[in-house]
Amino acid sequence: MTASETAAVLDALEAAGGPDCARFVGGCVRNAVLGREIADVDIATTLTPDQVTRALEAARIKAVPTGVEHGTVTAVSNHKPFEVTTLRRDVETDGRRAVVAFTTDWMEDACRRDFTLNSLYARRDGSIFDPTGHGVADAKAGRIVFMGDAEQRLREDHLRSLRFFRFLAWYGRGEPDVTALAAITRLKEQVAKLAAERISSEILKLLAADDPRAAVALMAQTGVLAVIAPEAQDLARFEGLVEIESEQLFENDAVLRLAALLPDDQLAAGKLAERLRLSNADRDRIVAALSPTPELKSWMSPREIRRAVYRLGPQAFRDRAKLAWARAASTATTPQWRGMIALGEGWTAPAFPLTGDDVIKAGAPKGPLVGRVLREVEDWWIDHDFIDDRLSAIEKLKAVVQGLAY
């Protein structure tokens, strides 16, 4: 917030609108108050989008009209983006999108925001404008409280139900706000009207928190989880995975945590991923993680582990091992699971030494039979623990080909 590129944006705005025409707002202020890392710096201003654009261009700062209908211009200063948004008030909302009017009233702008800890503004000198008078206290105490009437905020934007749980997971402490939970429960069905991309984005952000277990449990209790993902019912395995990641110092893995909530049903998982418009990579990973075979056990031998890594691939093996570990719910087997994953991560699967050309040279006719022979010899090669002897593999190939009945 004090970086030179940030100062350049504020200098440009103040040159056009005078002192205090622009303030830091939202997450950067909240995180500064809490001493947490700041990812993005957002700025609120009394200037209109046209005035913001002219002010930035006059200072030779790139201005990108990313959302001018809602008052947002992105300033790109020294290759870093800053969202600059004109103060606004809602004119009309339908729970998915809003029609806004611009204003110069900081309080009016604050009243349309979601939570008190996100409705904080800071001037360049570090002084804070706290519209409710308790936003800073709420942030420090971990209270996620809606601005004004909770039900009204939720009707303005149905996504705020999911945002409540996300901020609870990241910033919440103590007992959750009962008024907020009651309003969310009453309006839970409205969440289904949201665009799938907005839902999945919030869910993955929530699941990436250090410990989202309490938030997800509340989502289930209020019925919100059943609305957006009725398949997500395995809270025990999900909670076990979060505990493992925390205690074993694994990275927080939002995609695998989502998989942990689902049944071992690849078809159902694929349909959920499609419905939530997850990326192809995330969809494929979740489906692979929920394959019922081969079944992984903590007592598998190194040879069996290598075979599983080869069959599944490193990512799917690691995911399957963590999910099986999470379901086991026993600390007694922790060393075995940890060792299994370490062995899988430390072993690089060799390339199968034969090709289709080798099969044909051995005397097999071209066609589907070539693939069948290759699979049979590959199975033998795997059973022999990936024997590093091409000549032995060729001899086996010849034996298989000679035994074929054309």
Is the CB of residue 307 less than 8 Å from the CB of residue 387? no
Work out the mean pLDDT of the chain and round it to a whole number. Answer: 93
- pLDDT exceeding 90 applies to what percent of the chain? 87
55 occurs within a structural domain = yes
pLDDT tens digits for range 162-215: 999 999 999 999 999 999 999 999 999 999 999 999 999 999 999 999 999 999
- Please give the tally of structural domains in the chain: 2
pLDDT band at 100 (very low <50, low <70, confident <90, very high): confident
pLDDT at 98 over 70: no
For residues 75 and 52, give the distance between their C-alpha atoms in angstroms, rounded to a whole number.
9
Task: Note the helical H segments in 254-389.
Answer: 254-261, 266-275, 280-289, 302-312, 314-328, 334-346, 356-361, 368-383
What is residue 94's predicted lDDT score, i.e. its pLDDT? 63
Domain interval for residue 384: 356-402
For residues 331 and 326, give the distance between their C-alpha atoms in angstroms, rounded to a whole number.
10
202 occurs within a structural domain = no
- pLDDT exceeding 70 applies to what percent of the chain? 98
Element containing residue 293 per DSSP (H, E): none
What is residue 333's predicted lDDT score, i.e. its pLDDT? 80
Q: In this structure, which amino acid lies at residue 206?
A: L
308 occurs within a structural domain = no
pLDDT at 96 over 80: no
For residues 352 and 247, give the distance between their C-alpha atoms in angstroms, rounded to a whole number.
37
What is residue 405's predicted lDDT score, i.e. its pLDDT? 60
316 occurs within a structural domain = no
Domain boundary among 141, 157, 175: 141
Domain boundary among 101, 122, 141: 141
CATH code where residue 99 lies: 3.30.460.10
pLDDT at 230 over 60: yes
What number is the average pLDDT over the span 18-22?
94
pLDDT band at 92 (very low <50, low <70, confident <90, very high): low
Question: Which of 357, 363, 355 has the alpha carbon at shortest distance from 401?
Answer: 363
Q: Show Cβ contacts of residue 314 under 8 Å, excluding neighbours closer than 6 positions.
A: 344, 345, 349
pLDDT band at 62 (very low <50, low <70, confident <90, very high): very high
Is the CB of residue 29 less than 8 Å from the CB of residue 121? yes
Domain boundary among 126, 141, 156: 141
What number is the average pLDDT over the span 312-334?
89
Which of 50-54, 315-319, 365-369 is predicted with the least confidence, judged by mean pLDDT?
Answer: 365-369
269 occurs within a structural domain = no
Threshold 0.75, pTM exceeds: yes
What number is the average pLDDT over the span 397-404?
90
pLDDT band at 95 (very low <50, low <70, confident <90, very high): low
What number is the average pLDDT over the span 270-294?
95
pLDDT tens digits for range 347-400: 999 999 999 999 999 998 899 999 999 999 999 999 999 999 999 999 999 999
pLDDT band at 69 (very low <50, low <70, confident <90, very high): confident
Question: Which of 311, 338, 335 has the alpha carbon at shortest distance from 303?
Answer: 311
168 occurs within a structural domain = no
pLDDT at 53 over 80: yes
Output the six-digit token pair for 56.
């930035």
